[in-house]
Structure 1
Amino acid sequence: MAKLNIVLFEPEIPSNTGNIGRTCAATDSRLHLIEPLGFKLNEKAIQRAGMDYWKELDVVRYINYQDFLDKNPGAKIYMATTKGKNVYTDVSYEPDCYIMFGKESGGIPEEILAHHRADCIRIPMAGESRSLNLANSVAIVLYEALRQNAFSHMKLEGSLTKFDDYIE
């Protein structure tokens, strides 16, 4: 089964990574972490943000960006960046593509972006806003990719538990 892949390039804030891990677990997406990390994966902030979802998470770690490339040859990678020319809703996400997000303090380095210009995507923002929160950005783009793939393998409806017999 194809999985969407979220890649965090050198994330710095444990609660963001915890929230992103929870989102990945809830969407059956794989999380890729490119070191160095600005925290240890056993920090309480990650556990609080990820809650009990962290144990269900499909997560892969890499010692650096080159290690990531070496272990994922030929991967289709979209680079989420404020420097992108394409709006995130204007691309077609493959069911097994990789969507990379940069570290909170500086994004994805320009030397990496330069090799992926056509695949740089951005979330529109008003005025001179620098960027959105990393966890929010991941959720926005990931759910667009999931929508484009018809929310494959996801539960599409819920039900009331206390009022199942209630009729309008």
Structure 2
Amino acid sequence: MFRILFHSPEIPGNTGNAIRLAAVAGAELHLVEPLGFSLEDSKLRRAGLDYHDLAVLSVHESLAAAWKSLAPERVFAFTSDGEVSYTDIRYRASDILLFGPESVGLSAEVKDDPHVSARVRVPMLASRRSLNLANTASIVLYEAWRQHGFDGAVL
């Protein structure tokens, strides 16, 4: 099961969409505090629709607590300054797909964390700052899942 890790997400709608994504694709969603919203936020609930009960969602008080809980073998940090394209990775079901806060992305400290296996980018046109967080997570998760033959999906 792929694991999506949002480090300090700020926008409830993005996390709500990621809850829905995790539920429909059979992934786990992990959130590292601080969160920029309450998990009771109406925008989060609305974006996640009725998928909250179908998703595996965990909240960690810090990145260190997330590492301890997840015991990752491979962590891919998605960032605009990534050295490798997301399509060049042969994903494993236990991989962690790490994304940063919407306003600033992953900090240098997080990108340099020894748990991070590679900094990864999703291509986009020059002079564009970034993709939406939930959209980027969707692109990456579906590529990883595709490589595994959409295991468990109704095709």
Task: Pick the TM interval, shorter chain.
Answer: over 0.9
The answer to whether structure 1 residue 24 and structure 2 residue 17 are counterparts is no
Q: Secondary structure at the match of 1:52?
A: coil
1:38 equivalenced with 2:30 (yes/no): no
TM-score (norm 1): 0.88
- CA shift digits 1:24-68 (9 cap, x unpaired): 100010000000000000110011100001111101110011111
Give identity over the alignment, percent: 37
The count of aligned residue pairs is 154
The answer for unaligned runs of 5 or more in structure 2 is: none
Q: Which amino acid aligns with 2:110?
A: I
Distance 1:71 1:118, change over 3 A: closer
List, as ranges, runs of 4+ consecutive aligned residues in structure 1 with deviation greater than 4 Å. Answer: none
Counterpart of 1:106 in structure 2: which amino acid?
V
1:118 to partner: Cα distance: 5.0
1:103 counterpart letter in structure 2: P
Which structure 1 segments of 5+ residues have no match?
157-168
Choose the corresponding residue for 2:45, options 40, 44, 47: 47
Q: How does 1:118-129 map to 2 (within 5 A)?
A: 118-129=117-128
| Aligned equivalent of 1:163 | none
RMSD: 1.2
Alignment correspondent of 1:133: 132
Match of 2:86 in 1: 88
